[in-house]
Structure 1
């Protein structure tokens, strides 16, 4: 997973931090923008890219943070490079199991050392 902090625009009143990146297991880019809550803690008021393929391009993630950030001119290219660096990677057994359970709604598969019901 890549994760890049993006500078907030001068004069922006709500956003205190913004992040974009690429999530290889979900095969999606993501965008997060944070504000400070009443307790002084950071709280995401924008968080997209949590479902498989939700934000398919760097530009789709950048468009979400642009109203709050000074977006570097090379950010889209950098995010695409992050994605390309993951092409040869595969899910670990734990990631594959999580996808079956959480994303596809498939039942858990017994591990080879576990007895089957």
Structure 2
């Protein structure tokens, strides 16, 4: 799963901030964890946990602007990561599970076809 760690803004320096691509869920994701919390790395923000939730990185980048410095070209880098990593991890049981349970939610016929192909390979 490609992941970019972002540099926190001065007022958010106790946060760990990441954005990336989750292939099996076919979505971009963003995380902000509070490393200063009493509990270990308490979740402040975690988006992109549902199949197909964020097909583009831009909304997540906007969410992270209040916590982190956003490097130039981040959206393009993320799109490149997604293209390179793909949308499945053949051979992993979770891929078939996610594919099977997310097919009705898919909005892209090509994506649904890919997920059917994953299911066929996994069985």
TM range (shorter): 0.7 to 0.9
* 1:6 aligned onto 2:9: no
Q: Shift of residue 89 of structure 1?
A: 5.4
Contact 1:25–1:91 (8 Å) recurs in 2: no
Deviations 1:47-86 (A, max 9, x none): 0101011111011221121111101011111100001113
In structure 2, how many angstroms separate the alpha carbons of the residues matched to 1:62 and 1:19? Answer: 10
- Taking structure 1 as the reference length, the TM-score comes to 0.75
Residues 12 and 100 of structure 1, relative CA distance in 2, 3 Å threshold: closer
1:22 maps to which residue?
21
5+ residue gaps, structure 2, are 104-121
TM-score for the superposition, normalised by structure 2:
0.72
Give me the whole-angstrom Cα distance separating, in 1, the residues matched to 2:5 and 2:18: 5
- TM-aligned CA distance change 1:88 to 1:10, over 3 Å: closer
- Name which structure has the greater RCO, CA cutoff 8 Å, separation 6+: 2
Superposed displacement of residue 92, structure 1: 2.6
More helix by share: 2
Aligned residues: 105
Partner of 2:63: 64
CA separation in 1, counterparts of 2:60 and 2:22? 12
Q: Given the superposition, is the C-alpha separation of residues 67 and 97 from structure 1 closer, same or farther in structure 2, using an over 3 Å criterion?
A: same
